[in-house]
Amino acid sequence: MRDSPNEFRIDIGDIELSVTEWAGPGDPILMLHATGFHSRCWNQVINCLPNCHIYAVDLRFHGASGNLGIVDWGILTTDIRTLIGRLNLTNLVGVGHSIGGYLIARAAAHESKRFKHLVLIDPVIMSAERYAQFQELPEDFGSKNHPVSRRKNSWQDANEMFDRFVDREPFSTWQPSVLRDYCDYALLPAEGEQLRELACDPLNEASIYLQQRGNEVVLSELSDISAPVTLLRAPPGNRSLTNLSSSPTWPELAGALPNCQEVYLPKMNHFIPMQDPALVARYIDAAHVRN
C-alpha cells in the first residue's frame, strides 16, 4: 500500500483539473481514466508501483475537475496537453485506458518530445469504418437517447453503489477492491440529508460516448507518435450502445503505429485495469524503467 497522495488543482484556462500525485523517484507517469470514471480507479494499479512518481488526472466532466464547456474530444485532448505543459512533464510515460488512451495518444502525437513511452489500454481508437458509422446516426439522436443517460444518479452513499454493482456485469468482472475505489470517489458530497449524485453526470457521460464525429483525426496523427507504445487489447465484439465490455480498439492499430508492441488479452474485456491491476502495473513498470 502506498502512502497517501497529494491532491491539487491545475488551472488550464476555462476550468481547473483535479490531479492526484504520488511521490517517487524517476521519470513521471501520467494516468488517464476511462469515460464515466475518475483518477482513483487507478489506485490498485498504483499500489503495485511503489517506487514511481505518478500523476492521475480527473478528466473534464469527471471526478473533482471542472465541468464547463461543450463535450468535445478535441477540447479534452487540449486539456491534457495544457496540463502537461503546466506541470512541465518531460521524459513522460503516458498511460491511458479507453478514452484516456485516445487522449494520451493524441497528446503524444503533438508533444512528442515530452514522451518516452505510451501504455495504451484498450484505447477508443477505432477503424475508419467504425468512425463513419457515427456519421450515420440521426441528427436528433442526442445524449438523452443514449441508455447511459438513464443510469441511476441518486445514491445514499458509496456502500449503496457497491452493493448494487458488485454482482452486475461488467462490474462483476472487476476486482472488488477496484469497484470499491470507484464507488468511494464517484459521488459528489451531499449537504444534510440530501442524496448524493455522480460526479460524472450521466448526460455528460452519454454525450462523450456519442461525440465521435471528427475523432477519426487521430488516425492521421498516429504516424507522429515517435515514442514506443505498449498496446494492451481485449477481444473485439459487438460494441453497441448497451454493450461497453467488448473492445472498441481497431484491431489493426498496432500496425499503424511506428513502434508498437501489442499484447492481446483474449480472456479479458474492455475493463482490463479493473480486472487485473497487477498485470497492467507490470507493463507500466517495464515502460518506466526503460531509458
- 42-72 per-position pLDDT tens digit: 999 999 999 899 999 999 999 999 999 989 9
d(CA 18, CA 107): 18
> So what's the pLDDT on residue 90?
97
> Predicted confidence band at 253 (pLDDT cuts at 50, 70, 90)?
very high
Domain coordinates of the chain in residue numbers? 6-136+213-289
Identify the CATH class of 6-136+213-289. alpha beta
At 278, which amino acid appears? A
What is the pTM assigned to this prediction? 0.96
Rounded CA gap, 77 and 205, in Å?
Answer: 16
pLDDT of residue 291: 62
pLDDT of residue 17: 98
Q: What are phi and psi of 288, to 5 degrees?
A: -65, -35
Grid cell 499500489 is found at: 47
8 Å CB contact between 43 and 106:
no
My answer on whether omega of the bond before 189 falls inside 30° of 0, hence cis, is no
Span of 80-84, 101-105, 130-134 with lowest mean pLDDT: 130-134
Q: Read off φ and ψ for residue 206, nearest 5 degrees.
A: -60, -40
Three-state DSSP state, 216: coil
Q: Which of 61-65, 78-82, 136-140, 264-268 has the lowest mean pLDDT?
A: 136-140
CA gap 236, 250 in Å, rounded: 8
- What is the distance between the alpha carbons of residues 75 and 54, in angstroms, rounded to a whole number? 23
Over residues 110-169, the pLDDT tens digits come to 999 999 999 999 999 999 998 988 777 766 677 787 888 899 999 999 999 999 999 999
